[in-house]
Amino acid sequence: MSDTGQSRADAEVTIVAHHVGGVGGMERQLAQLALGLRRRGHDVTVIAHECALPAGSGVRFHRVRGPSRPFLLGYPWFLLFGSLAVRRWRRGVLHVTGAIVWNRADVIAVHYIHQVGVITPSRDSLIFRAHVRAIGLVSRIGERMCFRRNSSARFVCVSNGVADEVRAHYPALADRVVTIYNGVDTDAFAPGAHREQARELRRRLGVAEDALLAVFVGSEWERKGLGPLIEALALAPEWQLAVAGAGDRDAYGALAESHGVASAIHWLGELRDVEAVYEMADAFVLPSAYETFSLVTFEAAASGLPILAAPVNGVRELIDDGRNGLLITREPAVIAERLRRLGSTPELRAHLGEQARASALRFSWAQMVLDHEQLYEQVLTPRRSRRAPPPARPAGPPA
């Protein structure tokens, strides 16, 4: 969809989200969508709490001021004031991220299905667990209400697994569901692109150049399986582990102590840039119980790492067991067996990493932007038909 031959309104897109740009995978995807559309000549408006885009991007930003946390306050706040902001500043195609405003949208991006998704508390206490249950209840109610109100919208899912979940829980929307995969920056996440930074990071962590180092990236550690991975280290003592992300460090540190592997784990905290983390590693491990796309797995694959991951949404569409990665369960013994196999066979690590990189190249940011552009074209075509003037009536015979 280009500007040529179209009215200005046809080239306009309004993206609505809580946050655009920043640390999270969804936030980075939205930033690249906005920037990619703008580079292709579209007029792009973002309505959000926060928008972290480069200066001079040309993207128009309208901030929804107010609290974003805690969720039980921030969610209804944005539902109200975000909806009012959309009524005021909406331009062209309305692309909404999830069930966050009450307006009728053209496109609803589904990064997570609350009827299915598992939200785990960051701390194991009664208060935190009650808070998580309340978040889940509010999210499910909001999702049902907004999805049903937008039965004529296109529901864009980030993987085929999520698309199947939408169809299962919202059968009336089945014919409105499409899949557009998230994209990966295959230039930034590439073998050798951050070699010097990786060497320096290993040096700072005290990891020898010839030591085997696995990497785990992500928050929500209970759901993503950090516990089983720590237990697996005790059965694969030749490996060390770097953990990037936020979680209950004390609880998982105690778990590592109890299994005698505390000295083998390097806690990196939450990082904005993780390219060098992948570059310094010998394998990527994610024994997650549930994902929608698992962007970190695709980033690790693009970086040329051998992948050990559970067959969750997204991973199933990337990893062919034994060809470009190894599928695992959450059983520590299974994870350890795969780690030992990789550790003892450098040729296998190299082969799986090369094949993972080749598979990840199909999921580029450019393709993600193009797929959205084509979807917007489908949304706009009926509108142009309605706006087109009726054909001129043929002239009658001369008098």
Taking only the tens place, the pLDDT of each residue in 100-111 is 999 999 999 998
Q: Where are the beta strands (DSSP E) in 18-140?
A: 19-20, 43-48, 50-51, 60-63, 93-97, 107-110
136: pLDDT confidence band, cut at 50, 70 and 90?
confident
Tokens of 378: 């489908």
Of the candidates 117, 124, 329, the residue with the CA atom closest to the CA atom of residue 232: 329
Backbone φ/ψ region at 244: left (φ over 0), alpha (ψ -120 to 50), beta: beta
Taking only the tens place, the pLDDT of each residue in 254-306 is 999 999 999 999 999 998 889 999 999 999 999 999 999 999 999 999 999 99
Tokens of 257: 């102590």
User: Rounded distance, CA 279 to CA 191, Å?
Assistant: 7
Q: Where are the beta strands (DSSP E) in 207-289?
A: 212-217, 239-244, 265-269, 283-286
Is residue 398 scored above 50 in pLDDT? no
Domains of the chain: 8-183+364-381 (3.40.50.2000), 195-360 (3.40.50.2000)
Q: Is 42:374 a contact under the CB 8 Å cutoff?
A: no
Is residue 252 scored above 70 in pLDDT? yes
> Stretch 126-143: mean pLDDT, rounded?
84
Tokens of 153: 């919208």
Ranking 130-134, 244-248, 253-257, 325-329 by mean pLDDT, the lowest is: 130-134
User: Rounded distance, CA 81 to CA 74, Å?
Assistant: 10
pLDDT score at 2: 40
What amino acid is encoded at 109 in this protein? A
User: Rounded distance, CA 206 to CA 226, Å?
Assistant: 22
Question: How is residue 187 annotated by DSSP?
Answer: T
pLDDT score at 121: 53
pLDDT score at 3: 40
Is residue 385 scored above 70 in pLDDT? no
> Stretch 369-396: mean pLDDT, rounded?
76
> Stretch 378-387: mean pLDDT, rounded?
76
pLDDT score at 133: 84
The gap between the terminal CA atoms of the chain, to the nearest Å, is 47
Radius of gyration of the chain (CA): 23
Ranking 20-29, 116-125, 374-383 by mean pLDDT, the lowest is: 116-125
Taking only the tens place, the pLDDT of each residue in 45-89 is 999 999 999 999 999 999 999 999 889 999 999 999 999 999 999
Residues forming beta bridges with residue 51, ordered by sequence position: 20
390: pLDDT confidence band, cut at 50, 70 and 90?
low
> Stretch 347-356: mean pLDDT, rounded?
97
Percent with pLDDT over 70 in the chain: 91
Taking only the tens place, the pLDDT of each residue in 157-174 is 999 999 999 999 999 999
Is residue 234 scored above 80 in pLDDT? yes
Tokens of 396: 């009658």
Q: Is the pTM of this model over 0.75?
A: yes
pLDDT score at 396: 47
Tokens of 159: 């993987």
Q: Tell me the pLDDT of the chain averaged across its residues.
A: 91
129: pLDDT confidence band, cut at 50, 70 and 90?
confident
Percent with pLDDT over 90 in the chain: 81
Instruction: Give the Å distances, CA to CA, from 41 to 113, 342, 388.
Output: 32, 46, 23
Residues forming beta bridges with residue 93, ordered by sequence position: 13
pLDDT score at 131: 75
User: Rounded distance, CA 195 to CA 216, Å?
Assistant: 19
Is residue 148 scored above 90 in pLDDT? yes
Q: Is 157:168 a contact under the CB 8 Å cutoff?
A: no
Question: How is residue 194 annotated by DSSP?
Answer: T
Kindly report the backbone phi and psi dihedral angles of residue 325, in degrees, each rounded to the nearest multiple of 5, phi listed first: 170, 180
Question: How is residue 172 annotated by DSSP?
Answer: G
Taking only the tens place, the pLDDT of each residue in 188-226 is 999 999 999 999 999 999 999 999 999 999 988 999 999
pLDDT score at 319: 96
Kindly report the backbone phi and psi dihedral angles of residue 118, in degrees, each rounded to the nearest multiple of 5, phi listed first: -110, 115
Helix ranges (DSSP H) in the chain: 25-39, 71-89, 126-149, 160-169, 195-205, 221-224, 226-233, 249-258, 275-279, 295-302, 315-318, 332-344, 346-360, 365-387
User: Rounded distance, CA 36 to CA 60, Å?
Assistant: 14
H or E stretch at 130: helix 126-149
pLDDT score at 399: 39
Is residue 149 scored above 80 in pLDDT? yes
113: pLDDT confidence band, cut at 50, 70 and 90?
confident
186: pLDDT confidence band, cut at 50, 70 and 90?
very high
Is residue 6 scored above 50 in pLDDT? no
Number of other CB atoms surrounding residue 171 within 10 Å = 9
User: Rounded distance, CA 385 to CA 369, Å?
Assistant: 25
Instruction: Give the Å distances, CA to CA, from 299 to 347, 357, 370.
Output: 21, 9, 20
